[in-house]
Each structure stands twice: as structure tokens, then as C-alpha cells.
Amino acid sequence: MGSVSVSLYIAVVFVSVAVISTSIWAIPTTLDGPFKPATVDLDKSFRGHAIDLPDTDPRVQRTVKVWKPEQISLSLSTNHDSVWISWVTGEFQIGNDVKQLDPKRVGSVVRYGRLRFALTNRAVGHSLVYSQLYQFQGLQNYTSGIIHHVRLTGLKPNTLYYYQCGDPSIPATSDVYYFRTMPVSGPRNYPGRIGMVGDLGLTYNTTSTIGHLMTNHPDLVLLLGDASYANLYLTNGTGSDCYSCSFPDSPIHETYQPRWDYWGRFMQALVSKVPMMMIEGNHEIEEQAENQTFAAYRARFAFPSEESGSSSTFYYSFNAGGIHFVMLGGYANYNKSGDQYRWLKKDLDKVDRKVTPWLVATWHPPWYSTYTAHYREAECMRVAMEELLYKYGVDIVFNGHVHAYERSNRVYNYSLDPCGPVHITVGDGGNREKMAITHADEPGNCPEPSTTPDKFMGGFCAFNFTSGPAAGKFCWDRQPDYSAYRESSFGHGILEVKNETHALWTWYRNQDAYGTAGDVIYIVRQPDRCPVEPELMGDFHQPLKDLSSQLLCL
């Protein structure tokens, strides 16, 4: 190589290193904050297209015959050595007179192993059928296919496994699929990429969200509530963007349960290979006869509730490498006297931050959102639980519900606090209710306090602020200090935990090219500044109680 070539090579290498270094150091960190509130103007050209996929779309049609498995999905247990595999056999029924299938008719068997053509291990699980029934004349009832859940145990960490599910005695088995287990829990072990999505639905925007997400190759996906939006349909299949607007005379809030089957078929391409952890949203309530609720949610998903000491599918926890995830129920009793609060306290007591340094909490309705939609709706939950999460040093909170994106500064009790969690709302998955676009701090957009109570839990805690920039008011007059960044666009997020103190958060917008970030930041833990052991918390912090009253729920 000549001297000119060598010089050119060195120059190219130097420039390349400089570009890489610049790109790394250009990413802000939470240590640079708190950041001045920023709002991205609405891209009006991307407002529409929130149209559901029709039942004629090939991606939602049933392609298997008789008892072969469909709607195959994965979810995690509490640790790396266990995984749940779920699927459906048989076709649903809808009409005035439906008869449940017998779950014992088809076995729940998974054959699996580390070699594709040597599935030497075998696990047997359980199956069930659920119904959505109405006592009113003219409404169609529904009964599901047979839903199977099988738990695999004794798995090795960070290992590729192949599996085949179904009933080999019929025979009726699936194709061979694969998944990779989570790394063993430890301060240096983390999943590569964790996808965060909320309020998906099954629209053409949803397909864009999932397409982008799959291109980012997640190792794990968290769905923060509101999956199928089956409750935006009457039982005859007629849908609407606004149920109460279009069907005000319906005797009960009907749902069209086949939308769940369409959704499961569409999602199989992703969740048959990548585990997805679900938490309930308001669109999963789905009231039916005898005041039953959440039937589809409880039946269709496998939850590590029992493994994590929870008595409910509405809240549970699990580890993914050095991260402990707490999945909380915004539509279950969250008061301090309730089972969920007692379970949460017990679960947090057991977390060893030397093993799982990162503590991430999720639930559906956000506490810190500045959009008019659902403004301060979850205030009773915040009043009941925020102090507990703060004392145990929760690092990040993820929510859905509001159909937009928003990232907070570190916040506690509406005040900027270097030891408070970062709250991130990603309820922008693409459902047919369209995006949230108005902010409560803009003139004329502040909702009446009487319109904000938690309708499902029956509580009201959202009073006027008592001091600070919004003293004497229900809404701020400008974008609140705790709100760092907000934008009305559909999309998804990726969390990449790099080590014990740094995690890269990236939000991707559907309208951008693949790989283009809409928002990116390093979230940095400071364990020395913010100790998390509860016994040390007494004198360490004097929380800044400068904004919200601490009245309990009425």
C-alpha cells in the first residue's frame, strides 16, 4: 500500500471514528435534564388512515383446518428458565344459540428442543373455552375456540429453542417455530431490545407499527393494554370510532369477539417467535351477562401470576435479565387496603438490586400526561401507589391509554425530582380511535374536573393544584415542567439496557423511514445518589410536595 493510500485510509478511519463518536455523544442523557418542555407540531398529513382491517384481509383469516393450532404466542414466566406457549384450536361460534367446544377434545402438548429436528422434550398444559354472553334479545353470543396454555420449564438462559404445539395423537400439530430465552438475571445481563407498544387495535396503522417493530428485531415485547378493540363493534360486526356516539341506545356495551381472533392471527407472525407480556386496558373490560368482565383478556393470555405470588391476572411481575418488571392493574383495586397494593409491597421487598439493578413498572392509564384525553383520570391510583414506587426506586414507568407519545423529566408528586422515575406514554400503536392531539394546558382545552374520575374504579381524586405554577387551577397554563417531550404520532418504542446505570430509549414514528428515531435519550440511574433500600429512605428525601393535594380517594 502506497503512502497516499495509507494516508487516505487513516483519514477515512479517523473520520469514521469521529462520526461514530459524535453520534454517540450527541444522544442526551437524563443527567442533562431536567429538559425544557418541548412539543412537536402536529403533522396533519398523517392524521387519518385509522381504518380497521376487514375480516376479508388474508392476514386475519383462518388458514388452518380442523384442529391445527393457530394464534400461536409466547409469554415469559418469572425467570429465564420458563416460558409459556399459547394457541387456539377449533373455530369460534357466534350467533343466538352457541355451544361451547369441549376443551378435553384436543390435547395441549408442546414438543421442544435445541435442535430443529430433535424435539426431544415434551410438556403438557391445560385448555379452556370462554364465552361472551348477553341476556338481551337481538344480541349475538360468542364462544371461543379451545385456548391452550403450556408452560415449559428447565430452560437454559439465552438459548435458542425450537418447538411444535398441538395434539400429536390426532394428529394436529403446528409447524416448527423457535424462540430465544431471556439471559440469566444479573447486573451485566440484559435482553438486546425490548419493544414497547400500547393501544394497538387492528388498523392499517397497526400493521405499520408492527412492521416497524419487527424490523427492529425485539427480544421481548410489552403490550401496555388495549389490544383488539373488539368493544368498538356491535355483536353484528358493525364498528365505530366512537361507540357511545354511534350506539347510545345499546342496552349493554356490546363487543364483537371475532376481532380477538383476527388480532391473534395477525399478531402470530411476531409473537410466535418473540414473547409478549400483556397488561389489561380499559378496552379489555368487555362487560357481559351477570356483570362479568375481562373474559377474553383472562382466557387468551398466559400470565406468570402464580409464579410471581399474585392471585390475579391483572398484576404480576417477572425478570428479564437484570431488569425486574412490575405489571400493575389500573382496573383492579389499587388502594392501600387492597390485595394488589399488598402484593406490590411484598414483591418490591423481594427485589435484589444487586441482581436486577433496573426496576421498571407498567400499567395502562398514565399518571403524567398533558393531553386533554384522559387528563388526570388515574389520579386516585397515583395518590395510592406513587410513594411506594418512589421509595423502592422505580427507574422507568411505561403507560398507554393516551393515543400519543410523551416522555417526562424525572418526576415525583408533580415536582421535578432527580430520583423520580421517567414516565413514558406510548399509547400510539395505531388503533381506530385515532390520535390524541389537544393538550390540557392550551387555551380552552382544560377539561371540567367532574369529567375526570376513574369510571371503572369509581374514584375521584383530581383536585386543583395547591401551589406552584398551577396553584389554584386544574390545568397548567403552559406545558408542565415535568413534560419533557410530546408528539401526536403513531409509533412504538425500543428499550435497550446497556449496563447497571445506562439504558437507551428510542421512540420510532410510523411515518418515518425504518431506523429513523423520533425521540432518543439515555436514561441514567444514580444508585449512589438515590438509594433504593426502603430502610434507608426515611431521612434521605424530603419530597417536593409543591403541587398536588394528598387527599385520599373519596
Which residues are part of the catalytic machinery? 374
| Consecutive H or E run containing 8 | helix 3-25
> Taking Cα atoms as reference points, which of 83, 87, 88 lies closest to residue 123?
83
Q: Are 166 and 174 in contact (CB under 8 A)?
A: yes
H helix runs in 302-403, sequence order: 339-350, 379-391
The strand pairing partners of 85, in sequence order, are 74, 150
| DSSP classification of residue 17 | H
Q: What is the CA radius of gyration of the chain?
A: 24
> Taking Cα atoms as reference points, which of 161, 171, 188 lies closest to residue 83?
161
| DSSP classification of residue 118 | B
Report DSSP letters for 400-454, one per residue.
Answer: -SSSSEEEEPSEETTEE-TTSPEEEEE--S--TT-----BTTSTT-PPPGGG-SB
Query: C-alpha grid cell for residue 498?
Result: 446497556
Contacts of 11 (CB under 8 A, 6+ apart): none
Residue holding cell 427480544? 219
**How far is 394 from 417, CA to CA, in rounded Å?**
13
Amino acid letter, residue 549: S
